[in-house]
Amino acid sequence: GCVLVVSVIEQLAQWHNSTVKAAVERLCDYIPGKYQIMCHMSHCIDREMNADVVCHSLRLCKQDPGQPLCHLYSPPKLHHLCELMHPSTFIFLPLQKSFMGFSSVCAFPLLANLCEKIKFVLRNKLPFEDFDGDKFSTFPTLRGYHWRGRDCNDKNTTVYPGRRPDNWDAKSDSNCNGIWGVDPKDGIPYEEKFCKGADSRGVVLLGDSAGAHFHIPPEWMTVTEMSAKSFANLPMAFSDEFDWPQFSEITGFLNSTIGGWTDSLYLRLRKRNRCNHRDLQNISQNGIRGRLIQEIRSGLARNQLLDNPAIVIYATIGNDVCNGERDTLAHMTTPKEMLSNVVQALRYLDSHLPNGSHVILTGLVDGRFLWDNLHDRYHPLGQLNKDVTYSQVYSFLDCLQVSPCSGWLTPNETLRNLTSERALQLSNVLKEIARSEKYANFDIFYMDFPLRQTAEEWRKMGGEPWQLIEPVDGFHPSQIAAALGTGITWQKALHEWPQVLGKENPFNDQIEAIFKDQGGH
Q: What is the DSSP string of 496-509?
A: H-HHHH-PPPTTHH
Where along the chain do the CATH 3.40.50.1110 domains lie? 202-510
Judge whether 172 counts as a catalytic residue: no
CA 40, CA 44: separation in Å to the nearest integer? 8
Contacts of 91 (CB under 8 A, 6+ apart): none
Question: Can you list the alpha helix ranges (DSSP code H) found in 229-377?
Answer: 234-239, 265-272, 293-299, 335-350, 368-374
Contacts of 370 (CB under 8 A, 6+ apart): 405, 408, 409, 469, 474, 475
Contacts of 10 (CB under 8 A, 6+ apart): 20, 23, 45, 50, 51
Contacts of 340 (CB under 8 A, 6+ apart): none
Query: Contact, 517 vs 179, CB < 8 A?
Result: no
Give the DSSP H/E element, type plus range, for residue 5: helix 2-15
The one catalytic residue among 200, 209, 248, 395: 209
CA 339, CA 432: separation in Å to the nearest integer? 9
**What pLDDT is recorded for position 231?**
95
Per-residue pLDDT of the chain (521 residues; tens, 9 = 90+): 889 999 999 999 999 999 988 999 999 999 987 777 656 555 556 557 889 988 888 888 888 899 999 999 987 654 444 444 444 333 333 334 434 444 456 766 667 787 888 888 877 889 999 999 999 999 999 999 999 999 999 999 999 999 999 999 999 999 999 999 999 999 999 999 999 999 999 999 999 999 999 999 999 999 999 999 999 999 999 999 999 999 999 999 999 999 999 999 999 999 999 999 999 999 999 987 767 888 899 999 999 999 999 999 999 999 999 999 999 999 999 999 999 999 999 999 999 999 999 999 999 999 999 999 999 999 999 999 999 999 999 999 999 999 999 999 999 999 999 999 999 999 999 999 999 999 999 999 999 999 999 999 999 999 999 999 999 999 999 999 999 999 999 999 999 999 999 999 999 999 999 987 655 55
Query: Contact, 265 vs 279, CB < 8 A?
Result: no
The architecture in CATH of the region 202-510 reads 3-Layer(aba) Sandwich (3.40)
Coil vs helix vs strand at 91: coil
CA atoms within 13 A on the CB side of 236: 17
Partners of 313 in the β-ladder: 205, 360
Write b or e for each residue in 449-483: b if 16 or more Cβ atoms lie within 10 A of its Cβ, otherwise e: bbbebbbebbeeeeeebbbbbbbbbbbbbbbbbbb
Angle at 330 between CA 325 and CA 335, to 5 degrees: 125
Give long-range contacts, CB 8 A cutoff, 24+ apart: 231-236. 231/30, 231/31, 231/32, 231/35, 232/32, 233/257, 234/31, 234/32, 234/35, 235/32, 235/35, 236/140, 236/141
Indicate the length of the chain as a whole number.
Answer: 521
CA 87, CA 64: separation in Å to the nearest integer? 17
